[in-house]
Chains A and B, each alone.
Chain A
Amino acid sequence: MAGFLARRVMQGIISIIGASIIIFVISRLSGDPIAMLLPNDAPASMIEETRRNLGLDRPLWVQYLIFAQHALSGDFGNSYRWKMPALQLILARLPATIELAVCGLLFSVAIAVPVGVMSAVQRGGWIDRIGRIFAMLGQAMPAFWVGLLLILVFAIHLDWLPAFGYGSPSQLILPAISLGWYPVAAQTRIVRSAMLDVLDSDHIRLSRALGTPERLIVWKYALRNAAVPLLTMLGVYFAAMLGGAFVVETIFAWPGVGRTVVEAVFSRDFPVVQAGVLFTSILFVISNLLVDISYGIVDPRIRDAR
């Protein structure tokens, strides 16, 4: 297990280095930040001086080496717009994004697992049919639309929950549902199909023959085996939620990393983009590592095979 983890950590580090190079190059290919930093009537001398001060006049590979050297010591440079350390800007927003992503994920699992299991158990029954409709709706309704719909119903018409903001549990409910809505569909399908496979397997048939209660068979033995593909999905979805929460953060005025990074992309604020993307990459790698570890916990055969 230790060797496996060491390999995974190494792969993670290589992935992060790769991500840093890609984001560094792509952000610079996207355009010149100087035009957006200076007023229209700024004289050419000021434009050149600003370019020099920001180090943007140097060759790209030199810029990257300087960036990498500083990044290793936690210095991602100052935001061009906010004129404060980019890392500070990202770290201040990170808890809000993690909170939203965790709650969104919990919401999706809380819906997907019971619906997926019941759909498999009562295959072709009314729960299965409703589950399939639910899954289809989930995949057909993008997060921004779900968010606006939730605001319309629960904030404006029913006046039960706040339409925006950050800080109280009630303000978390609508954004978490919006973010978790889409993965519900995919997770329900994964759980359903994995459960169908497992429920048809020999050891489940043997358990039934031995007279094990059906509830125990479904919720303990079968679900545990069916959980492996779901765990893989959860790792991917958690990372996607961290990086892709931008839309939900914007709709609910949620002060998270996604909104900060996307706004930085539009204003060519390279230090913030780099710090944000790199941090999301690190969280992505960590979440995948945790998924790998959880495989071993869920299925000892995987652990032993390693």
Chain B
Amino acid sequence: MVLSFRPVVAAALLFLPIALLPFVTFAQAPKLATGTLTVAFAAEATMLDPTRSSAGVDQYFFGQMFEQLVRPDPALKRVNWLAESWEVKEEDGKPLLDIHLRKGVKFHNGDPLTAEDFDYAFQRQSDKKISIWTHLQAAVERFEIVDPLHFRIHFKEGDGSYIANDLTLWAMPKHYMERVGDEAFERAPVGTGPWKFVSRSVKEEIRFEAFDDYWNTENRPTVKNLIIKVIPEDLTRVAAFKTHAVDWIDAVPPAMIEEFKKLPGVVTASYPAPNNMYISMDALTPESKFYDVRVRQALAYAINIDAIIKNVLFGQGERYVEVGKGELGYDSDLKPYPYDPKKARELLREAGFPNGFDTPCYNLTTPREPYQKEVGEAYFAYASAVGIRCKVQGQEYGTWISFGRRQREGHIDGLYSNMWGHGLPGDPGTAWAGHVHSYVPGKGWGATSVHSDPELDALVEELKRTMDIPQRAALIQKIARIKHERVAGGLTTYRPVVTFAWRDTVTFRAWPMAFWRSMQEVGLKQ
């Protein structure tokens, strides 16, 4: 019998393209956005307009729709975003930012992004009637449009925080906003981001649709619709996830993370929150016990931060020493004070307090971070154990935040559980200007500072002026070492860690934008 290969070859030739079709399709065609993803956030934004925003949490929503010139990528590396390129130059001895915009970027209403839109964003952010962030533009002298895709920001003096804040400006659609006005814009915002606004029901949900003309074809959502539900109560959010009402949740309660890790078909991931916790202490006047560096160091030796992270926070914290891992100027050689209560008692004795002393200790009772109240209690219990006997006073958030501000009469008179975010990837410049630099009324320095050190003041001021990134990193390392040695401007403790959970039918890659809640790359598996 003679076998003919001709039909086999013919069949192979016929079916081969069909067999390869899925691969060809995936390789060449853009990713199709289909389906609806429902997620749950623990907190809700108030404003959808980045310029009028009044709180960091607002980014949870507007961060899905609006974009900046640069942003950190998932590896916390700052990358050009709407800016194709940018550099710091000098003109007449003053710095300027020379920025070229990316071509082909469109707003959700179809308007092309131009330098005029950033000029408009700058004008709005400099207007005290519109924005509470005008001080971020205080060092800017003028905005110059070179051509539709090229502009310059001229500074009166160097402003390093401009760099640290991702060049501060958000792309705002000038023509659309001028046409509809602020109020209508709030109801129907338009940005350049991957998600287009559909509707919002306050205290309930916000709906988005993937923007088909989004400029970034590589890093974009592959699901058509996104619904963000607002579920503030931890256990309800967990229940919503377990009953499949939502497929992704933020802020898994720390006590339930181990349980979530064991759930079949569920993925969990943890990320450092852009908040830096520390303990302020009154080191302003010689009458204060904490004026003596040995007492401040005693406190540093007295508190077992690692144990607090492990046992109070269920591991949901990352210890940091002045500058967190991944932040600009992070120095892995800078080691934390070890837990050594014996050494703490010795230092107290040397400082003239063999029997310890009583001090007021202020704790936040309406936490902004998980278990913050309990962590504060643990700090003060450890302090009391070596002789820094805390008389703990609880404060709710409004009282706490007013109490810490130096604009009020007087200043704190003991220990104070505190926090000031360095952002993501993180740069401590703004925070240090606020709590390491001495308080200078009316000048913006030391808004919550209870410390005064002329050497550190000069270095922090230099840091504020420094826009060159390597120079800035070196300066941060220098300040961090001095600050750590002198326990100046507070004792740094930990950065909270936030954990998300999603079903394995969801694809999600966390971008640090919107405090890791950016739905930049999210989709549903087919």
Q: Which of chain B's residues have a CB closer than 8 A to the CB of A266?
A: 366, 396-398
Q: Which of chain A's residues have a CB closer than 8 A to the CB of B408?
A: 32
Contact with B along A253-279 (1 / 0, CB 8 A): 101100110000011100000000000
Residue of A nearest to B395 (CB): A31
B389 within 8 A of A: no
A214 within 8 A of B: no
Contact: B203 with A93, CB < 8 Å?
A: yes
A137 within 8 A of B: no
Contact: A253 with B402, CB < 8 Å?
A: no
Residue of B nearest to A268 (CB): B398
Q: Which of chain A's residues have a CB closer than 8 A to the CB of B134?
A: 46
Contact: B54 with A44, CB < 8 Å?
A: no
B506 within 8 A of A: no
B202 within 8 A of A: yes
Within B443-460, the residues touching A (CB, 8 Å) are 443-444, 447-448
Residue of A nearest to B440 (CB): A44
Q: Which of chain B's residues have a CB closer than 8 A to the CB of A84?
A: 183, 186
| Given A41-B430, A252-B236, A30:B398 Cβ within 8 A | yes
Within B405-444, the residues touching A (CB, 8 Å) are 405, 407-408, 420, 430, 433-434, 441-444
Does more than half of chain A's interface fall in helix, strand or loop, or is it mixed? loop
Residue of B233, B243, B408, B442 ringed by the most chain A CB atoms within 10 A: B233
Within A2-33, the residues touching B (CB, 8 Å) are 30-33
Residue of B nearest to A249 (CB): B203
B185 to chain A, nearest CB (A): 12
Within A203-217, the residues touching B (CB, 8 Å) are none
Within B187-210, the residues touching A (CB, 8 Å) are 201-204
| Given A36-B398, A253-B229, A163:B240 Cβ within 8 A | yes
A152 within 8 A of B: yes
B51 to chain A, nearest CB (A): 11
B12 within 8 A of A: no
A37 within 8 A of B: yes
A84 to chain B, nearest CB (A): 8
What number of residue pairs across chains A and B have CB atoms under 8 A from each other?
133
Contact: A163 with B243, CB < 8 Å?
A: yes
Q: Give the B interface residue count (CB, 8 A).
A: 51
A251 within 8 A of B: yes
A306 within 8 A of B: no
B469 within 8 A of A: no
> How many A residues are at the interface, by size bracket?
35 or more
Contact: B46 with A35, CB < 8 Å?
A: no
Contact: A156 with B444, CB < 8 Å?
A: no
Contact: A40 with B448, CB < 8 Å?
A: yes
Residue among A36, A82, A163 making CB contact with B47, cutoff 8 Å? A82
Contact: A166 with B204, CB < 8 Å?
A: yes
A114 within 8 A of B: no
A47 within 8 A of B: yes
B128 within 8 A of A: yes
Task: Report how far A176 CA is from B231 CA in the complex, Å.
Answer: 18
A296 within 8 A of B: no
Residue among A36, A50, A80, A162 making CB contact with B245, cutoff 8 Å? A162
Q: Which of chain A's residues have a CB closer than 8 A to the CB of B442?
A: 43-45
| Given A30-B398, A92-B202, A152:B47 Cβ within 8 A | no
Residue among A35, A45, A152, A267 making CB contact with B405, cutoff 8 Å? A35
| Given A41-B447, A163-B239, A251-B233, A46:B396 Cβ within 8 A | no
Task: Report how far A92 CA is from B201 CA in the complex, Å.
Answer: 10
A254 to chain B, nearest CB (A): 8
Contact with B along A161-188 (1 / 0, CB 8 A): 0111110000000000000000000000
Residue among B132, B239, B441 making CB contact with A44, cutoff 8 Å? B441
B243 to chain A, nearest CB (A): 5
A155 within 8 A of B: yes
A45 to chain B, nearest CB (A): 7
Q: Which of chain B's residues have a CB closer than 8 A to the CB of A255?
A: 201-204
B215 within 8 A of A: no
Contact with B along A44-81 (1 / 0, CB 8 A): 11110110010000000000000000000000000011
Contact: B398 with A35, CB < 8 Å?
A: yes
Task: Report how far A46 CA is from B237 CA in the complex, Å.
Answer: 38
| Given A39-B132, A39-B133, A46-B134, A259:B398 Cβ within 8 A | no
Task: Report how far A255 CA is from B230 CA in the complex, Å.
Answer: 9
Task: Report how far A80 CA is from B54 CA in the complex, Å.
Answer: 9
A83 within 8 A of B: yes
Task: Report how far A44 CA is from B443 CA in the complex, Å.
Answer: 7
Contact: B407 with A47, CB < 8 Å?
A: yes
- Interface residues of chain B, those whose CB is within 8 Å of chain A, are 46-47, 52, 54-55, 128-129, 132-135, 138, 183, 186, 201-204, 229-233, 235-237, 239-240, 242-243, 245, 366, 396-399, 401-402, 405, 407-408, 420, 430, 433-434, 441-444, 447-448
Q: Sample 13 A-B pairs with CB under 8 A, ordered by A number.
A: A31-B399, A35-B407, A36-B397, A41-B444, A43-B138, A46-B132, A93-B202, A151-B239, A155-B243, A163-B243, A164-B245, A253-B236, A255-B202
The 5 A-B pairs of least Cβ separation, nearest first, read A255-B203, A163-B239, A35-B402, A43-B444, A44-B442
Instruction: List 10 other contacts, CB 8 Å, given A40-B405, A163-B240, A164-B229.
Output: A32-B402, A32-B408, A33-B398, A38-B132, A39-B133, A42-B135, A50-B132, A81-B47, A83-B46, A163-B236
